Amino acid sequence: MGRFTQALRVQVKVIKALMIRELVTRFGRENIGFLWIMAEPLMFASMVGLAWSILKGPQNHGVGVIPFVVSGYIPLTFMRHSFAQSAKIFVANSALLYHRQIKVLDFIFVRVSLEAIGAMMAYLFGGTVLLFFGYFPVPADVGMLILGWAIYVGFVLSVCLVLAPLSEVSEVVEKIIPVSVYLAIPFSGVFNMAAWLPVTLRDYLMWSPFVTGMELMRAGLFGDAVLPYYDIPKALTVTFACLVAGLVLCRRVRRMVAVS
């Protein structure tokens, strides 16, 4: 037990150090620095929400258009950035593998964690500001909102564990990662609720952890104003399958990465 505790402490220190290094490398110390990790998804979500409110009016299907779009687009931005950051991540950080405490999984975990933190900050800040001006509801069920976010983040992490090693062995995978984000949008539940779709299509979408996570987040935010459809066992099954596949791929690719 003592060895495990000591190893855990070392791993926590490694994660903290890699997070600081990543923030300084990507955002520097000038201007607003690491706050860009929050500002970027917030700006995108605000612009898309404003455009939708102009095109569709203040409400659609009984819920406010602005909070609906913002609550979906910020997680989508998190997914897009996480997928993009996972490409060629091992080669880019191969010099750090000289330190035996650092593992290839740390690189993926750090980048996904930073993107998740930035998205959460954007969600909280944007929601608070919009709530102040009367454009955002008070969450009806915080527990359901957190559960949905946890499922969403967990699936993104598991997919990144698959994409990262595959991008190291194939340039084709590296090139199609940006495209994969747009292909995932119809299966992400970002711009619609499952209740608005035909029953057959809805049943297929229940295999997407993105949809389950988004439906739970929307139910936690809007409460009785929406009718959520989700399948947590299916979401966890798919996530676990991707997680296992990703761990196996990372283990195999690690042998191919040369420490520079």
Q: Bridge partners of 64?
A: 59
Residue 171 placed within a domain: yes
In a domain, 259, yes or no: no
Compute φ and ψ for 57, nearest 5 degrees. 90, 175
pLDDT tens digit at each of 260 positions of the chain: 667 777 778 778 888 888 888 777 776 666 555 677 777 777 777 777 777 777 777 777 778 888 888 888 889 889 988 888 887 777 767 667 676 777 788 888 888 998 898 888 888 888 888 888 888 888 999 999 999 999 999 999 999 999 888 887 777 777 777 777 777 777 788 888 888 888 888 888 899 999 999 999 999 999 888 889 999 999 999 999 999 999 998 888 776 665 55
CA-nearest of 84, 59, 71 to 167 is 84
In a domain, 230, yes or no: yes
DSSP-derived 3-state class of residue 132: helix
Does residue 46 belong to any structural domain of this protein? yes
Claim: this prediction has a pTM higher than 0.85: yes
Which range marks the domain in which residue 151 is found? 2-254
Structurally, the chain folds into a number of domains equal to 1
Two tokens, residue 20: 């600081």
